[in-house]
Amino acid sequence: MNRSEVVAVIPARGGSKGVPRKNLRRVGGVPLVARAIAAAQGAASVDRVVVSTDDHEIAAVAHEWGAQVIDRPAELAGDTTSSERVLLHALDDLAAAGVDVGTLAFLQATSPFIDPRDLDLAVELLAANEHDCVFSAIETYGFLWKSEAGDATGVNHDSAVRPRRQDRDPHYLETGAFYVMDAAGFAAARHRFFGRIGIVEVAERTAIEIDSEEQLAMAQAIAPLVPEASDLVDVVAVVTDFDGVHTDDTVITDSYGRESVQVSRSDGMGVARLRRAGIPVLILSSETDDVVSARARKLQVDVRQGVDDKVAVLREWAATQQVPLSRIAYIGNDVNDLGCLELVGFPVAVPEAHPLVLAAARVVMRHAGGHGAVRELADRVLRDRGAAQPVRTGAGRTSSGDEADR
């Protein structure tokens, strides 16, 4: 007889009005749905991670990140479909496959900073039979108001009394990040709140929920400040911009108008080590300059320059090399690199890059462009090569995703 499992379900539909293709938008260089998958996989108590989606692109990302995918019917993918209906459909699908779900963890991809330790605590509270359902919340002492017919009245306080913070009890605000429930109790109640309800208080910095472009921009800005486990740069190919990456983005011009740049011998050694390891390297530059060609010849790597559409050229090169885009590291420094950074699995930035590039990066190098950034990336690629840990997607735990998912 199979033991009951702790199953994380992540609803992620393809449609979104406020933020188009929201569940595939990136924070810290990683698609939102993938961040939720990684958070669930990082929780020691979670046995299986499932993504419920109607969208083939989201399904592909979910598979890539090691989640099991449940195909959601169109009637459960509309704007008004409740998350509860999606979760019940997932439970039915899992039951039909012989999976005994004991604890259901409902994660929302719109919350990009879920801490796996908070999920583990929530599961622990259920396992100890202290609660039937638990949700993430932040403590607040805020004074809430409502407005009716233009008149404002206090909701959680007497407007005529202004007690000090230390004289008040806190309230708790749902973050929407996760809800952990006894699966049988949820199936009977058909609602996420039932029985004995508990709270897992989470850090305020993790509480942002994305429902607008502005909130997405805020999350992207916050991402470098939220502590997370460092990403392994587990890739099979490396693509680099030239100016500002192999160089420090300055040009020396003599009295005859001849230009020269300075490059790093250390970077050259890094590229040589990648080549010896059988990892293809491409220099991709929007500029046309003899120095780029000369450097590529010296390094014995592919080069494409004078490129207006970097994304198209990157796609073509990856196809020629038979390398999936998800296994490419691309390192850039300026806004013309954004398209490529959003395309690959490991977007990388030099530390002095444009703020939008830093926000798009999954990894930021410590060394500056022209001063060892390429060598640092090469060393990390070689160090991490094949080091990615297997993810937990099923009972065996190993493998080589109010409104449904808003």
What the chain holds in terms of domains, given with CATH numbers, is 5-225 (3.90.550.10), 237-384 (3.40.50.1000)
Per residue in 242-274, pLDDT (tens digit) is 999 999 988 888 778 777 888 899 999 999 999
**Confidence band (pLDDT; 50, 70, 90) for 394?**
very low
**From residue 305, how far is each of 28, 279, 292, 314 by CA, in Å?**
28, 20, 8, 12
Per residue in 65-77, pLDDT (tens digit) is 999 999 999 899 8
pLDDT at 405: 54
Share of the chain above pLDDT 90, in %: 72
DSSP string, 256-311: T--EE----HHHHHHHHHHHHTT--EEEE-SS--HHHHHHHHHHT-EEE-S-S-HH
**From residue 146, how far is each of 24, 143, 226, 345 by CA, in Å?**
35, 10, 33, 45
Q: What is the mean pLDDT of the chain?
A: 90
Statement: residue 371 has pLDDT above 90? yes
Per residue in 357-367, pLDDT (tens digit) is 998 999 899 99
Q: Which of residues 30 and 1 earns the better pLDDT score? A: 30
In this structure, the number of other CB atoms found within 10 A of the CB of residue 61 comes to: 26
pLDDT at 228: 63
Statement: residue 170 has pLDDT above 80? yes
In degrees rounded to 5, what are phi and psi of residue 349?
Answer: -125, 150
d(CA 80, CA 71): 18
pLDDT at 22: 94
Contact between 203 and 6 (Cβ < 8 Å): no
**Confidence band (pLDDT; 50, 70, 90) for 401?**
very low
Statement: residue 326 has pLDDT above 50? yes
Among 27-41, 277-291, 375-389, whose mean pLDDT is lowest?
375-389
Statement: residue 398 has pLDDT above 60? no
pTM, 2 dp: 0.80
Statement: residue 354 has pLDDT above 50? yes
Strand partners, 9: 50, 106
Average pLDDT over residues 358-385: 93
**Confidence band (pLDDT; 50, 70, 90) for 187?**
very high
Angle, CA of 36, 357 and 263, to the nearest 5°: 130
Q: Which two tokens mark 273?
A: 């080590």
Q: Which residues contact 337 (CB under 8 A, 6 or more apart)?
A: 241, 310, 330, 357
**Confidence band (pLDDT; 50, 70, 90) for 400?**
very low
pLDDT at 156: 86
Angle between helices 265-276 and 373-384 (to 10 degrees): 30
**From residue 50, how far is each of 27, 95, 125, 318, 403 by CA, in Å?**
21, 13, 22, 29, 18
Statement: residue 327 has pLDDT above 60? yes
- For residue 335, the Cα-to-chain-centroid distance in whole angstroms is 20
